[in-house]
Chain A
Amino acid sequence: MNTIDQTTDEVLRLAAEHFKVQRDQLSPDDDFFKKLGINSLQALDLLTRIEQHFQIELPDYELQGVTDFRTLAQRIQSRL
Chain B
Amino acid sequence: MLDLRQYNSLGKALRAALDRWPNEICLIEADRDRENARLTYHQFKEQALPLASALQNAGLKDGSRAAIIMTNQSKWLISAYAIFFCGGVLVPLDYKLTAAEQLQLLAHSHAEFLVIEYHLWRAITQSEQFKNLSVRTVLVTEAPLNADLAGAHRWEDFHAAAEPTFVPRKRTDPACIVYSSGTGGRPKGCVLTHENYLEQCVALTSLYPFWPGVRYLSILPTNHAIDFMVGFIGPFTCGATVVHLRTLRPEFIREAFTKYKITYMALVPTILKNLERGLRQRFADLPSGKRKILNALIATNRALTRRRPNLKISRTLLPQVHQAFGGELRALFVGGAFTEPETLQFFYDLGIPVGNGYGCTEAGTTITVNDLKPFRSDTVGKPLPGMEVKITNPGAEGIGEVTVRSRTLMSHYLDDPEMTGETIVDGWLHTGDLGRLDPSGHLQLFGRKKNMIVTEEGKNIYPEDVETYFAGLPVKEFCVFAANYLWPARTMVGEQLIIVLHPETGQEITKVLETEISERNRRLLNYKRISGYLAWDRDFPLTASLKIKRAELAEQIRQNRERSAVVPL
Contacts and interface: CB of A to CB of B under 8 A. Distances in A.
A29 B251 CA distance: 29
Interface residues of A, number: 17
B96 interface: yes
Nearest to B99: A65
Interface of B: 71, 95-96, 98, 119-120, 246-251, 270-271, 274, 456-457, 522, 525-527
Given A33-B526, A67-B522, A60 B119 contact: no
21 contacts: A31-B522, A39-B274, A39-B457, A40-B270, A40-B457, A41-B270, A42-B274, A44-B247, A44-B249, A44-B250, A45-B249, A60-B71, A60-B246, A60-B247, A60-B248, A60-B249, A61-B71, A61-B119, A65-B525, A67-B522, A68-B522
Closest 9 CB pairs of A and B: A33-B526, A41-B274, A60-B247, A44-B249, A67-B526, A39-B270, A48-B249, A44-B248, A61-B119
A64 interface: yes
Interface in A49-80: 59-61, 64-65, 67-68
A43 to B, nearest CB: 9
B455 to A, nearest CB: 9
Contacts of A33: 526
Contacts of A59: 119, 246-247
Nearest to B526: A33
B271 A41 contact: yes
A45 B252 CA distance: 11
Contacts of B95: 61
Contacts of A48: 249, 251
A42 B120 CA distance: 23
A41 B456 contact: no
A60 B247 CA distance: 6
A31 B95 CA distance: 22
B302 to A, nearest CB: 28
B250 A45 contact: yes
Contacts of A64: 96
A58 to B, nearest CB: 10
A74 to B, nearest CB: 15
A60 B249 CA distance: 8
A44 B71 CA distance: 16
Nearest to B96: A64
Contacts of B120: 61
A48 B98 CA distance: 24
Nearest to A41: B274
Contacts of A44: 247-250
A39 B96 CA distance: 15
A60 to B, nearest CB: 5
Contacts of B270: 39-41
Nearest to A42: B274
Contact of B98 (A39, A42, A65): A65
Given A31-B522, A61-B119, A65-B98, A39 B250 contact: no
Contacts of B246: 59-60
Given A41-B271, A48-B251, A60-B246, 7 more contacts: A39-B456, A40-B248, A44-B250, A59-B247, A60-B71, A60-B249, A67-B522
B526 A40 contact: yes
B332 to A, nearest CB: 16
Nearest to B31: A59
Interface in A11-58: 31, 33, 39-42, 44-45, 47-48
B34 to A, nearest CB: 11
Contacts of B71: 60-61
Contacts of A67: 522, 526
Nearest to A47: B249
Contacts of A42: 274
